[in-house]
Chains A and B, each alone.
Chain A
Amino acid sequence: MPLVKWLRRNLVVLAGLATLAYLILPNVVVMVFSFNKPNGRFNYSWTRFSTDAWKDPCGVADMCGSLSLSLQIALWATIGSTALGTMIAFALVRYRFRARGAINSLIFLPMAMPEVVMAASLLTLFLNMGARLGFWTILIAHIMFCLSFVVTAVKARVMSMDPRLEEAARDLYAGPVQTFLRVTLPIASPGIAAGALLAFALSFDDFIITNFNAGSTVTFPMFVWGSAQRGTPVQINVIGTAMFVIAVVVVTAGQFIANRRKNSAKA
């Protein structure tokens, strides 16, 4: 019974790998079906191999427009929520002041609420204000819901920072601005980068809040949603595959650089 024994010993590893397979399976399907030549409007069943979609990824009306709109919104939402969130995180960790508890719960609540509730309440606000739904309402909503996640990510980093490093800088006659730029910011930057990356991913991929507050504006997730009813072009899978590959490359490169920096710091 060596096989049974081996299976028992490696049960955790095998179960973990099975979960990993479950996580990756749809991405593999997306990749494979980006080379499909579909028969009809939907790309749900395999017909035959073709590289047409890869040669002409923007060949579908409005798709690349929605993609570039999503990228723009994600970029501005990242900048906005990272700036506001970093300031809040520093205030919460570094200072004692009144209303700290209330502010902590105000930050926590957006994460403890189903997205559809926030989406619907924002829509009632915009309807009551008579605001025109579109780019600006989407951006406002995205900055709002990314903010809490940025605060959480940056807070974790700032909490683990040694305040004595900044005291040392001040003892060496560095001004407050100099201390912040040369000492505080570099140490906090991994947390800020993590928060920014999270905000970008959340904003770029958001559907529920955008669905409520976009009006007739179409972001990329909205385009995919619409195409699920009208017909899914193969090009959607091309974009999905490209996004996956870019993400793997960027995250791997980021870890590679972080590792090298860590190693050179040790040496």
Chain B
Amino acid sequence: MTAPAEAPPAPSDDLPVRKASARKRLVPYWLLLPGILWLIVFFALPMVYQASTSVQTGSLEKGFQVTWHFQTYWDAFKEYYPQFIRSLLYAGTATLLCLLLGYPLAYLIAFKAGRWRNIVLVLVIAPFFTSFLIRTLAWKTILADGGPVVHALSTLHVLDVTSWLGWTDGNRVLATPMAVVCGLTYNFLPFMILPLYTSLERIDSRLHEAAGDLYATPATTFRKVTFPLSMPGVVSGTLLTFIPASGDYVNAELLGSTDQKMVGNVIQSQFLRVLDYPTAAALSFILMAIVLIMVTVYIRRSGTEDLV
């Protein structure tokens, strides 16, 4: 760390402090320099390269030239809009499910767990450390055709309803939209629970008592006190699940079939298999634009500007 060498001899003495301030003013810039440089070179600059790639034409054999061919964007969107819509739909459903499933658990940890709190927290965090690909593959076993889960669901006639809705396919769960959404929900659930827990934990328990003293039922207390105060957690939790889920291609690849491809799958195969870089770059920019616009509107609407 670079810092001025001389400390002022006495706090009341004004002069030495002012003398040091010229060097001191540079301290934050020295602290920022390496990290910000890293982000500029390996985050911002790549975006510029990707932008230039997206308006190139050519082929892998002949090479690519910048020809300002914006048509690629329109063509890519026209060809792959079903995948875009599916990605947003799956990610949105998974986010909603994460909120519905995660809220009770976050609430449980914050208010009801008592001395079990740390153990439950460990159980929420620990799965992070088992590679998420291994855990996603485990869902293949859980949802396997003719397995206990599928058997139970079909005995309860749940699969009849979901098949009618188009979420599942006959007596199958694997390779259907339901499997992909189930995987997405599972994978991003901790990202919902932790911010929810953090914001719930900050709530002063005396507010609950006050609500009770004023004859509010538990349901009213939740609706008027607890939930509004947990909004920062709800907002950051939904963002932390929706954004990565919208670009994910692992769940669709491992748990879905070719009918459930998301836009992430398209970008991945265009970049790494088809090697059509302009189309892949255009697709990834369209995805980025959609997500950034949705996030900005959402943050404005929910009124919490300071997220992180």
A13-B108, A23-B186, A116-B249 in contact; A125/B42 too (CB < 8 A)? yes
B268 at the A interface (CB under 8 A): yes
Specify which chain B residues have a CB less than 8 angstroms from the CB of A228 in the assembled complex. Answer: 133, 137, 254
State how many angstroms separate the Cβ of B137 from the closest Cβ of chain A.
Answer: 6
With beta carbons under 8 angstroms apart, the residue of A120, A152, A248, A255 that contacts B284 is: A120
Assembly CA distance A179 to B239 (angstroms) = 39
Q: Number of contacting residues on A, CB 8 A?
A: 93
Candidate in B11, B118, B126, B281 with the most chain A CB atoms within 10 angstroms: B126
B216 at the interface (CB under 8 A from A): no
Closest chain B residue, CB of each to CB of A14:
B104
Q: Flag whether A90 is at the interface (Cβ < 8 A).
A: yes
A103 interface residue per 8 A CB criterion: yes
Interface residues on B, range: 35 or more
Chain B residue with the shortest CB-CB distance to A248: B126
- Tell me if A116 and B247 are in contact (CB < 8 A): yes
* B interface residues, Cβ below 8 angstroms from A: 1, 3-5, 7, 11, 25, 27-29, 31-32, 34-36, 38-40, 42-47, 49-50, 53, 101-102, 104-109, 112, 118-120, 122-142, 144, 186, 189-190, 193, 239, 243-244, 246-250, 254, 264, 267-268, 271-272, 277, 280-281, 284-285, 287-288, 291-292, 295, 307-308
Alpha-carbon distance A75/B193, docked complex (angstroms): 27
Is residue A170 contacting chain B, with contact meaning CB distance below 8 A? yes
Known contacts: A107-B39, A117-B287. The answer to whether A247 contacts B130 by CB under 8 A is yes
B-facing mask of A24-35, CB < 8 A → 1, else 0? 111101100100
Q: Are B137 and A177 in contact (CB under 8 A)?
A: no
Cα–Cα distance between A16 and B291 once the two chains are bound (Å): 30
Identify whether the interface residues of B are mostly helix, strand, loop, or mixed: helix
Q: Roughly how many angstroms separate A151 CA and B285 CA in the complex, as a whole number?
A: 26
- A residues 168-207 with Cβ under 8 Å of B? 170-171, 173-177, 180, 201, 204-205, 207
Contact with B along A88-129 (1 / 0, CB 8 A): 101100110100000100111111111111101111110110
4 tightest A-B contacts by CB?
A: A114-B247, A16-B108, A247-B129, A84-B35
A-B contact count (CB 8 A): 273
Complex CA–CA separation, A30 to B107 (angstroms): 28
Taking a contact as CB atoms under 8 Å apart, the answer to whether A251 and B125 are in contact is yes
Min C-beta distance of A177 to chain B, whole Å: 7
A147/B264 in contact, CB under 8 A: no
Contact between chains at A29 and B122 (CB < 8 Å): no
Docked pose: A246 CA to B127 CA in angstroms:
11
Selected A-B contacts with CB under 8 Å, 12 pairs: A19-B102, A26-B139, A27-B135, A108-B308, A114-B246, A114-B247, A116-B268, A120-B284, A125-B50, A204-B131, A212-B268, A252-B119
Nearest-neighbor residue (CB-CB) of B139 within chain A = A26
Question: Would you call B284 and A117 a contact (CB within 8 A)?
Answer: yes
Q: In the assembly, what is the distance between CA of A231 and CA of B202, in Å?
A: 47
